Amino acid sequence: MHRHLLAAAFALFAAPAFAFHCPADMAAIDAALPNASLSEADLAKVKELRAKGEELHAAGDHQGSVDALAEAMKLLGI
């Protein structure tokens, strides 16, 4: 029984944590873009992933947003 309560509590607190993580990741990407030394293809991919992350965040899909933004950050090396 305690496991179920713990899992439910985690679910309630984890979603807002992802929600607050997304804007920080978007800001980090925005800050890194002007100094990025990427190919045109990689730069376009980062911008696409950044936009997708923002769209998913706005739609409430915070895990999807975190995943897309993490991929963009990996390409940027941050």
Task: Give the pTM.
Answer: 0.75
More confident position, 37 or 13: 37
Helix, strand, or coil here: 1?
coil
Written as six digits, the tokens of 6 are 């713990």
Tell me the C-alpha distance between 59 and 1, whole Å. Answer: 33
By three-state DSSP, how is residue 3 classified? helix
Would you say residue 6 has pLDDT above 60?
Answer: no
Residues 16-75: tens digit of each pLDDT: 554 568 999 999 999 999 999 999 999 999 999 999 999 999 999 999 999 999 999 999
Contact 7, 53 (CB under 8 A): no
The answer for residues whose C-beta is within 8 angstroms of residue 26's C-beta and 6 or more apart is 50, 53, 54, 57, 69
Domains and CATH numbers, the chain: 15-76 (1.20.1270)
The predicted structure's pLDDT at residue 7:
47
pLDDT of 13 strictly over 80: no
